[in-house]
Amino acid sequence: MTFLWPEFLWLLALVPLLVAFYFFILRRKARTALRYASLTMVREAMGSSGRFRRHVPPLLFLLALVVMIAAVARPAAVVRLPSQHEIIILALDVSGSMRAKDVEPDRMTAAQNAAKTFINEQPRSTRVGIVAFAGTASLVQPPTNSREDLHAAIDRLQLQRATAIGSGILVALKAIFPDVDFDLRATNPRMNAPGQRPGGFPGGPLAGGPRDADKAPPKPVPPGSYKSAAIILLTDGQATTGPDPIEAARMAAERGIRVYTVGVGTPNGEILVGEGWSMRVRLDEETLKQISNLTGGEYFYAGTAVDLKKIYQSLNSKFVLERKETEITALFAALAAFTMLVSAGLSLLWFNRIL
């Protein structure tokens, strides 16, 4: 626990003085009682329990005073509080490698089931959006509170060719900031499929067109500082087309958006066989770790369907309740007021007076 105004803690030095003053008053009363036999007889009639009770209200009052001084110093502590996330975007890889069955029943079905469970456990105040990416990326379900619409969008996902992780991040950012035009002209030409324009987008506000001259670029903010939204990106392969995922992650970091990455499959690779073709798909964990590190998120590896479900449960706990340093002055003030009321109530009950 820390204090925002620690200089006020010097007031605690007055507490020993109050204790000394209290014992001075008791000693003075004791000397007065010796002068009157009747008062001495009353004290003896009270017994030891009565003598102990007379100290309880002042002790509680002193405790309340200590807590009140601590409240003046504005205490702060790291506590678990409801998250402020209003939008969560699930960016799901729908490339052909997601048909692999090393994650039962297959990677795609396991990802869909885990995503549905995650959605069901979100508070109703949180809107969830769905982005699907393969060779290109698209927003298949804008952020909504409707669990039925989200489940239907997940069920509609179909496998496609190629993997554009950078496009998935950019479309997710566009879903969070619909009024912002994202431009990523610094792409890797080797990551673009034959005949595809640089940037991996067929056109529209996300295509790598020039920015409007009268629009100043947004001022970057610290990574992870935007608490109202987050992106969860799930993939089982490595980027083969579209914008550079690292550059896309930097754009998310500049806007304070955390990107939590989930890797599915085997880092050593899986050989997929089709009609007259075969290919090896390999999980690019290094890139996913860079994305999460750049944006202040976290990387998770899911080797099985059970792992994937546990990951989404862990993410759910991060989004529903998060640890943050919060001022708890109100709690200290309420505790001090309650202790004072108890002190006064016991004094009235036992002695018909307040302290």
Are 264 and 212 in a shared domain?
Answer: yes
Q: Which of 9-23, 81-95, 115-129, 244-258 has the lowest mean pLDDT?
A: 81-95
Are 276 and 342 in a shared domain?
Answer: no
Are 58 and 97 in a shared domain?
Answer: no
| Residue 126 domain-assigned (yes or no) | yes
- 11-18: average pLDDT: 86
Are 210 and 266 in a shared domain?
Answer: yes
| Residue 317 domain-assigned (yes or no) | no
Are 343 and 265 in a shared domain?
Answer: no
| Residue 53 domain-assigned (yes or no) | yes
| Residue 235 domain-assigned (yes or no) | yes
What's the pLDDT tens digit per position in 121-147?
Answer: 888 888 999 999 999 999 999 999 999
- Sequence-distant (6+) residues with CB within 8 A of 121 are 313, 316, 320
Are 341 and 195 in a shared domain?
Answer: no
Mean pLDDT across the chain, nearest whole number?
79
Are 198 and 227 in a shared domain?
Answer: yes
Are 171 and 219 in a shared domain?
Answer: yes
Number of domains present in the structure of the chain: 2
pTM above 0.75, yes or no: no
Q: How confident is the model at residue 347 (pLDDT cuts 50, 70, 90)?
A: confident
Phi, psi for 329 (deg, rounded to 5):
-60, -40
Q: How confident is the model at residue 198 (pLDDT cuts 50, 70, 90)?
A: very low
| Residue 313 domain-assigned (yes or no) | no
What's the pLDDT tens digit per position in 202-232?
Answer: 333 444 444 444 555 667 888 888 888 999 9
Per-residue pLDDT for 82 more than 70?
no
Q: How far apart are the C-alpha atoms of 341 and 232, rounded to whole Å?
A: 49
Residue 216 lies in domain: 85-303
- 28-33: average pLDDT: 66
Are 65 and 169 in a shared domain?
Answer: no
Are 60 and 139 in a shared domain?
Answer: no
Q: What percent of the chain has pLDDT over 90?
A: 34
| Residue 90 domain-assigned (yes or no) | yes
Are 146 and 163 in a shared domain?
Answer: yes
Are 150 and 257 in a shared domain?
Answer: yes
Per-residue pLDDT for 268 more than 70?
no
| Residue 319 domain-assigned (yes or no) | no
